[in-house]
Chain A
Amino acid sequence: MPEITVRANGHARRVAVDTRSTLLDVLREQLGDTSPKKGCDHGQCGACTVLLSGRRVLSCLTLAVSCDDAEVTTAAGVSHAVQQAFVDHDAFQCGYCTPGQICSAVGMLDEFADGWPSHVTPDLTAAPELTDDEMAERMSGNLCRCGAYANIVPALRQAAGGPG
């Protein structure tokens, strides 16, 4: 089996991986970080979202063998205003989707800060505004089976520095 170096949450670890293993399975089963969750395993729910070199991606569709030397941040390694905002706003029930929501929110706020537009941005050439519609669209890749969306949006508003 090929050996790779995974730099997860600031710790470099050398692991032998099966070429078939996803980053999600290696993080959970070989590195003991169970914060990324397996919801669907097919790219359809966002529960497995992690930050790879700072960008939000789905770890269930990422082959671990392709992540040699890459910087991985899971929810367990995130330290960001979004976490306190989720607590303040009760932005979860069972919590299963939450680590994915947290990583996705961190990536989403960075994308927004870089001026990236979204499907609901009215004018593609102007700087977008972080309205509730924008947040819902930008976070649409994270499903919440408990339907905590109504509290997730205000939490994101607070984390983005707006009125909570």
Chain B
Amino acid sequence: MKPFDYRTATDMGTAVAEVSGRPDARFVAGGTNLVDHLKLGVAEPDLLVDITAVTSAAVEDRDGGLWIGAGVRNSDLAADRRVRERYPVLAQALLSGASGQLRNMATTGGNPLQRTRCVYFQDVTTPCNKRVPGSGCSAIGGYTRYHAILGASEHCVATHPSDMAVALSALDAKVHVLTPEGERSFPFVDLHRLPGEKPDQDTRLQHGDLITAIELPPSPFAQQSRYRKVRDRASYAFALVSVAAALDVADGIVRDVRIALGGVAHTPWRAYKAEQVLRGQPAEVASYRLAADAEMADARALDGIDGGNGFKIPLVTRTLVATLRDLT
């Protein structure tokens, strides 16, 4: 591990100035992803600015929704009464991730910014365009079980590993960011980007931009929401695929719906096509199948030494249908 300086941030503005002014400086929050990357040699910062003392650790009621400070730990957020009652999909997504110990460390700001679990990205001896731009992608034709079926490029086929981020995408959450130019906010679904020709960039944040909070808008039907995760073992494993959904049914007809998929793309994948197909349709399995088919029409399986990841396409369809059925 390369030596680095460590500073405890005194306030958020100074933290942003310190990191944005130094290309190899990084924020550290719970450290559950970054400290691992220091050990693996995937990250080699020369300065860590610890933001845990200056980011808010409070969940506040605001404008009918919830305002979640970037310093709120994943475990505290999942245990929050208001989240459990009003946004169950978020509590379930958080509780399905990692372990009790890790959730006590992981933060609201750090979780969406965790990097891919692509084995080649984490192994500095193999080519990887995300880690070393232009070096190639070892996953193409390699080990593909955890890789993308939607929105991938010839440069990178990695998936985003966060469960929480899938729920936030379905809930129309907003991200609040402090930049060297000041505060701004934008839809959570715009935080992450597809790999295209620049897989080294996971998000639209600039170096030194600090997530200060995540905002959940009021949603009368988020109460009818659910997260379903399919994985290789029953606990303490990343998703092969996952579905976050919220459903509003009146008189047997789907009035409104939100769907996001995990484990399928470089971003949490908001399933706009499936949502569009479902609105106004009978709330029944046949409609859910049509919706899943519409979303999966663009899916492309990867070939790989492990037999490829074509299994994910029917798996998404079945998981989506099952999640909506549970909500009906």
Whether chain B is bound by chain A comes out as yes
Q: Which residues of A contact B (CB under 8 A)?
A: 2, 18-20, 22, 41-43, 46, 49, 55-58, 61-63, 65-66, 104, 107-108, 111, 114-119, 121, 124-125, 136-142
Q: Which of B225-253 contact A (CB under 8 A)?
A: 234-236
Residues of chain A within 8 A (CB-CB) of B28 are: 63, 66
Q: Which residues of B contact A (CB under 8 A)?
A: 1, 3-6, 8, 28, 31-32, 35-36, 38-40, 48, 50, 52, 75, 78-79, 84-85, 88, 91-92, 95-96, 98-102, 104-105, 234-236
**Contact (Cβ within 8 A) B88 A61:** no
**Contact (Cβ within 8 A) A62 B35:** yes
**Contact (Cβ within 8 A) B39 A117:** no
**Contact (Cβ within 8 A) A108 B100:** yes
* Given known contacts A2-B6, A43-B102, A61 and B91 CB-to-CB distance under 8 angstroms: no
**Contact (Cβ within 8 A) A141 B91:** no
**Contact (Cβ within 8 A) A20 B102:** no
**Contact (Cβ within 8 A) B100 A107:** yes
**Contact (Cβ within 8 A) B99 A57:** no
B289 → chain A closest CB, angstroms: 27
**Contact (Cβ within 8 A) B31 A62:** yes
- Report the separation of the CA atoms of residues A98 and B29 in the bound assembly, to the nearest whole angstrom: 28
**Contact (Cβ within 8 A) B99 A119:** no
Pick from B48, B52, B84, B92 the residue with the most CB of A within 10 Å. Answer: B84
A selection of 7 A-B contacts at a CB cut-off of 8 Å is: A49-B101, A63-B6, A66-B6, A111-B75, A117-B78, A117-B79, A141-B236
- Report the separation of the CA atoms of residues A137 and B32 in the bound assembly, to the nearest whole angstrom: 20
**Contact (Cβ within 8 A) A119 B92:** yes
- Report the separation of the CA atoms of residues A104 and B236 in the bound assembly, to the nearest whole angstrom: 15
Cβ 8 A contact of B3, one of A20, A42, A66, A124: A20
Residues of chain A within 8 A (CB-CB) of B75 are: 111, 116
Residues of chain A within 8 A (CB-CB) of B105 are: 57-58, 61-62
B286 → chain A closest CB, angstroms: 28
- Report the separation of the CA atoms of residues A118 and B95 in the bound assembly, to the nearest whole angstrom: 6
Q: Which residue of A lies closest to B53 (CB)?
A: A66
B206 → chain A closest CB, angstroms: 25
Cβ 8 A contact of B102, one of A22, A58, A117: A58
**Contact (Cβ within 8 A) B95 A119:** yes
Residues of chain A within 8 A (CB-CB) of B48 are: 19, 63
